[in-house]
Amino acid sequence: MRVLIIKTSSLGDVIHTLPALMDAVKQVPNIQFDWVVEESFQEIPAWHSRVNKVIPIALRRWRKDWFSALKSGEMSAFLHSLRMSSYDYIIDAQGLLKSGVIALLAKGKRGGFSWAAAKEPLTSLIYHDKTYASWKEHAILRARALFAGSLKYELPIDKPNYGLDLGRVKKDSTEEIPCPYLIFLHGTTWKNKHWPEAYWVELARKVVTLGFQIRLFWGNPQERERAVRIAQAVGGVIVMPKLNLKEIAKTLAFAKAVVAVDTGLGHLTAALGIPCLSLYGPSDVVHSGTMGDQQFHLTVDYSCSPCRSRQCTHRDAKKMAAPCFSSLPPDKVWAQLRLILSRE
């Protein structure tokens, strides 16, 4: 059976789909997958042994200049690649009108979320089969329910298995590691998801006393500036050069542990099975927390959390971008992190 998955973005959402794919592998004999995904995330499905073909799409880049994308032939090349094969089934795991259009353009029977479950309900009119998945469930469980409903098998209740081949991720790595290191994933999209910079500095000072190096990634100038300030304040902190997703994954794969805020790279860490301590303020860990072996969570103790809001409206927001994180100081994080490191 040949199935096309449409899940284009974001990084965390793409990773959340992997356990559903693994469910299908176990339940449907000889199933194989192709996957439509945003070009910047195409390595993720490529690391899975049951994904035969990755079909990259550049919607994020194209929408900045549709005319140039059309004139260059990129859009027609994508359409040609999409329609080269006829599929036994197409699963739109995105639930948006843009992903529904991609499903319509592909060849095969279409399945997706029902009206009440899709992010954009009108998309459900595109599908032959519609599956309900509760919004109260974690994104991983919603994807698993979608695949089970579409491919007609009983929804598994075991722990999620991402199925990524860590050997493929580590392949061709020639880096010599002078000392064990931890990674701090300090960057995220929402301003109020950021753990305070001073807290990162204090935690880093505690970590390096145990003989660990700390490595910091960055994805934009603001994140790089913050990483540099942390490194200047604490010896033994390394600001990494600008890395692509493959290079980030390889660096994560050799880490002893990771400390993260709510970010897509935290979910990549979970998929790779690396010990990770994730810190949640406005985010709802029940719906979007990392899942898997060696995943640990710390949540704030604040009356308005989790608010799930991009903009903090608390009266103390002028003093601190995310006041709720005041209830999650470095000492508390350090105590949990030491327990994680002691298991290694």
Q: Look at the domain 2-164 and name its fold.
A: Rossmann fold (3.40.50)
Q: How far apart are CA 319 and CA 280, in angstroms?
A: 19
* Nearest partner of 262 among 248, 281, 247, judged by Cα: 281
Q: How far apart are CA 190 and CA 223, in angstroms?
A: 12
Please check whether residue 105 is in contact with residue 82, taking contact to mean a CB–CB distance below 8 angstroms: yes
The string of pLDDT tens digits covering residues 192-248 is 889 999 999 999 999 999 999 999 999 999 999 999 999 999 999 999 999 999 999
Residue type, 171: K
The residues, ordered by sequence, that sit 6+ positions from 63 with a Cβ below 8 Å of its Cβ are: none
What tens-digit pLDDT sequence spans the chain (344 residues)? 999 999 999 999 999 999 999 999 999 999 999 999 999 999 999 999 899 999 999 998 998 888 888 888 899 999 999 999 999 999 999 999 999 999 999 999 999 999 999 999 999 999 999 999 999 999 999 999 999 999 999 999 999 999 987 777 776 666 666 689 999 999 998 888 899 999 999 999 999 999 999 999 999 999 999 999 999 999 999 999 999 999 999 999 999 999 999 999 999 999 999 999 999 988 889 888 999 989 999 998 887 888 878 788 777 776 677 888 888 999 999 999 999 999 86
* Nearest partner of 101 among 123, 73, 133, judged by Cα: 123
The CATH class of 171-342 is: alpha beta
How many alpha carbons lie under 13 Å from residue 195 in its C-beta half-sphere? 30
**CA 165, 266, 158 angle in degrees (round to 5)?**
60
pLDDT at 281: 86
The residues, ordered by sequence, that sit 6+ positions from 152 with a Cβ below 8 Å of its Cβ are: none
Q: Which two tokens stand for residue 296?
A: 């640990």
Q: How far apart are CA 27 and CA 267, in angstroms?
A: 25
pLDDT at 174: 64
Helix, strand or coil for residue 230?
helix
Domain range summary for the chain, segments of one domain joined by +: 2-164, 171-342
Q: Which two tokens stand for residue 113?
A: 């979320």
pLDDT at 37: 98
DSSP string, 21-84: HHHHHHHSTT-EEEEEEEGGGTHHHHTBTTEEEEEEE-HHHHTT-HHHHHHHTHHHHHHHHHTS
Q: Which H or E run contains 121?
A: none
Q: What is the CA radius of gyration of the chain?
A: 21
